[in-house]
């Protein structure tokens, strides 16, 4: 009896890790009019990506195996270099399986005038 169940248990053990909990988060730097604008970090609960260098017109995709506390109402903080110093901008997002967040410059155009979409 156990010999017949052993392959079933092995199959369950091998396929037990679901890909359903894997998220792809892409960060795109769409700031065009500020020289030397660079994304340096991306943080959300359970994940902290530092020492990045996402330049103007570039993107980077992160694989998130899970999001602590769930994917809804997730606070994401983007650290960026602008002018001669570092800045942060944060916003709450509902993370889907494949989410892209684009960093844009608002109409007024200063280092503080950054928005996430």
Which domains does the chain possess?
A: 18-116 (2.60.40.2890)
Number of H helices, E strands in the chain: 1, 8
Measure the CA angle with vertex 19, ends 14 and 25; round to 5°: 150
Q: Which residues contact 4 (CB under 8 A, 6 or more apart)?
A: none
Residue 116 has pLDDT above 70, yes or no: yes
12: pLDDT strictly greater than 50: no
Give me the phi and psi of 81, to 5 degrees please. -105, 130
Please provide residue 30's backbone torsions phi and psi, each rounded to the nearest 5 degrees.
-110, 20
Edge-to-edge strands, sheet with 23-29: 59-64, 23-29, 98-105, 114-116
What length does the chain have? Answer: 117
pTM attached to this predicted model: 0.78
pLDDT exceeds cutoff 60 at 15: no
Residue 17: its pLDDT value, please? Answer: 43
What digits encode the pLDDT tens for the residues 37-71?
999 999 998 899 999 999 999 999 999 988 888 88
Condensed to tens digits (0 to 9), the pLDDT of residues 67-94 reads: 888 889 999 999 999 989 999 999 999 9
């Amino acid at each position: 009896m156990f010999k017949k169940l052993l392959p079933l248990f092995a199959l369950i053990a091998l396929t037990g890790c679901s890909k359903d909990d894997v998220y792809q988060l892409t960060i795109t730097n769409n700031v065009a009019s500020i020289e030397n604008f660079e994304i340096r970090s991306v943080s959300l609960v359970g994940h902290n990506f530092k020492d990045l260098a996402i330049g103007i017109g570039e993107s980077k995709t992160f694989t998130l195996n899970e999001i602590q506390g769930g994917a809804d109402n997730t606070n994401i903080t983007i650290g960026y270099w602008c002018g001669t110093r570092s800045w942060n901008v944060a916003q709450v997002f509902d993370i889907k399986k494949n989410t892209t967040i684009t960093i844009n410059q608002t109409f007024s155009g200063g280092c503080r005038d950054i928005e996430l979409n």
